[in-house]
Structure 1
Amino acid sequence: MLAHVFGYEREWPDQDLIGFSKEFDAPLTLAAYRSGVFPMPLASAPGDMGWWSPKQRGVLPLTALKVSRSLRRSATRYTTSVDQAFAAVVRRCADPAREGGWIDRDVVEVFTQLHAAGFVHSVEVWDDQDVLVGGLYGVSVGGLFAGESMFHDPERGRDASKVALVRLIEELAAGVPRHRLGLDRLLDVQWVTEHLASLGAVEVSRTRYLERLDRVLDAPGPRWPSPAQSRRAVELSALPAQLEGEHTTRGEHVA
């Protein structure tokens, strides 16, 4: 059920940033995601945490993932895992040299606590020399997965962040009938960038997002594999998405 820690949508300002606070900890952050809100520090106000709920929210329908031929070729070069190197993934995502970097020490601490509590998961991508070359992490509550950040090694990890996304979608879709994916799963990507749009991400209104969130929060969540048993190649044949060159009808719609 949708929480209302930040009040009701009708009370929010007509902008993406709906509030800010000095307080920032794991319980408040988890409650925020249940409210359709996520944290991101305010560059203009050091020490304050910004709380965001974009008017146009980015989501990636699981059946809409675009898997190109080049991505399929890249996927054969890598092995993936779940929660085997969470700290390393966050550290790479938080690299201060990255353009637009926003993940500070407080964010790392809070998300590490949520990871220990089972609410945050990472997906890792390894090359044939067992070097971490890509990954992502995000918040998992019921049927919601809120993606926070992803990275790839520009020298060794071509398409590695995309491969991490493929593995994530495999985990989210596992055991869910195709016709239930739009009802029981919601992959939140916050804002649609050109990169995410190329992978199938679309925008929905804030109101529509909150309606969908309210449905999925009470859905059974993914059965995340144990880290020790999670390492494998991606299984493209198991994806609910349409691969480039195939001509099947997709079953999930976003309105």
Structure 2
Amino acid sequence: MIDVMAERVGVVMQNRPVVALSSWTAEAIRVCAEAGKGLQVVTPAHSRLTLPLRLALTGPECRWVVTDPAGGYYDGFNGASLAWDGGAFSPDGGTAEAFKEAGADGTQIVVDATVRHTAYDTLSVGVVAQVMCEELGGAPPEGWGTSEPAGIAWDVERLTELCRDRAPQPTWLVFVGEGVVGTMTVRRTTSGVQETVTAGVGREVDVRGLVERLDAGFSLVSVVAQKVPGRADLTVEPRWSGPPVPVGMAVGPEAQAEAGMPVTGRADWVELSAGPEGWAEFARILRG
């Protein structure tokens, strides 16, 4: 499953138009994480990554390594030129010209939501992902799994059973719905169970209804929504499409208290400026 196991990373070679978080790739990520290494996925310049794989390649030394048609390699997410240093592909200070070619001009909305549960015998997880699919895509999830394709029919009881069997280790899953693709992580904490869900949809959507449902049904920690330039199918190309910009955020009462913010008793949705200043507003809100 791993083509090269080096000092700091494992390297996986993929030569296909769309590279997904297959069972092989998911296992490679697990093996590398247990060894304290990152995973680097090498593809041709014509390849695209699925949203779950893009989200999975966020750890230390994890990277999407693209073979540059002009020679060498570059980072598919930011265009940094890469060179093999003996232990991993690392930036060499340049930027690949191939990355500067215009990418897709569509819009993706990516929403991150975190909720906390009190641990009890009849607790069900997965309902947050279900609510997000209903609000963002208009229908419940169709499937889930530990890798792509998410081919197991949606079943909260079966999903919960898997997470319970794996506890106290965290469980990372993928799910799909009507135009929605996402990932979820369920982990035990000192105070209960935390569920973190990221869902993407390839069009503009209003997130306020989602925030209201999550705030009403769960102990909501936070919701952050951002607009990401890209393809409607939620895959990512190794080209510059533009920076992500914030849409808005909400912070739940418990998290408000932990952050030293005024406690309102509810998770109020705050619209953020569409641009770099929006991220500055985001930071100011978190600082209280």
Same fold (TM over 0.5): no
- TM-score relative to the length of structure 2: 0.26
Between Structure 1 and Structure 2, the one with more strand by share is: 2
Query: Structure 1 or 2: larger helix share?
Result: 1
The alignment's TM-score, normalised by the length of structure 1, stands at 0.28
Higher relative contact order (CA 8 A, sep 6+): 1
Larger Rg belongs to? 2
